[in-house]
Amino acid sequence: MIKKVLLVCLAGMLLSTAYAAKPPVFATGEGAIRGYDPVAYFTQSKPMKGQDQYTFEWQGATYKFASAEHQALFVKDAERYAPQYGGYCAYAVSNGYTASTLPEAWTIVEGKLYLNYSLEVQNKWLEDVPGRIAAADKNWPQVLNGN
């Protein structure tokens, strides 16, 4: 009997882990945006790899920056510089799920940074940016709980 109870408990734990919510920020072992500097998209108009000596923890993820100046800008106004939808693929979120992102597949629209899974997916995103943003806004952050 004890074995059956333990098995039922273990099965429940495994199922709850399998369907646990995703973290609010997509990050890899390199950090948020795969270790790229979110501020550089705005100030340099290109992705730049962040440095280990310039980091900041925000919403459970470590962001890296190319310089102390970029780090200070982010610390002062993280909402302005952080990618939308926690850095998950904006196209995927617009379709009701999450996907990882590629730092080189990016767009700034009305002062907000959007990332995509790949350059190919970015092309699909660019076909209807306003519509995709509207759909993604409706799905965020609920998509973190659903897939």
Domain assignment present for residue 87? The answer is yes
pTM for the predicted model, two decimal places: 0.86
Residue 147 sits in the same domain as residue 97: yes
Residue 82: DSSP 8-state: S
Q: What is the pLDDT of residue 21?
A: 87
The backbone torsions φ and ψ at residue 25, rounded to the nearest 5 degrees and listed phi first, read -125, 130
| CA–CA distance, 79 with 9 (Å, rounded to integer) | 40
Examine the pLDDT at 59 and tell me if it is beyond 50. yes
Domain assignment present for residue 98? The answer is yes
Domain count, the chain: 2
Residue 65 sits in the same domain as residue 95: no
92-114: average pLDDT = 98
Residue 126 sits in the same domain as residue 67: no
> Between 8 and 52, whose confidence is greater?
52
Domain assignment present for residue 7? The answer is no
134-140: average pLDDT = 98
Q: What is the pLDDT of residue 6?
A: 35
Examine the pLDDT at 139 and tell me if it is beyond 70. yes
Judge whether 114 and 82 are in contact, CB under 8 Å. Answer: no
Pairing verdict, β 61-65 and 102-109: unpaired
119-141: average pLDDT = 98
The backbone torsions φ and ψ at residue 98, rounded to the nearest 5 degrees and listed phi first, read -115, 155
Residue 74 sits in the same domain as residue 91: no
User: In one letter, which amino acid is 10?
Assistant: L
Residue 135 sits in the same domain as residue 123: yes
Q: What is the pLDDT of residue 20?
A: 67
Containing structural domain, residue 127: 83-147
SS3 for 9-75 is HHHHHHHHHHCCCCCCCCEECCEEHHHECHHHHHHCCCCCECEEEEEEEECCEEEEECCHHHHHHHH
Judge whether 119 and 63 are in contact, CB under 8 Å. Answer: no
Give the tens place of pLDDT for each residue, 38-50: 999 999 999 999 9
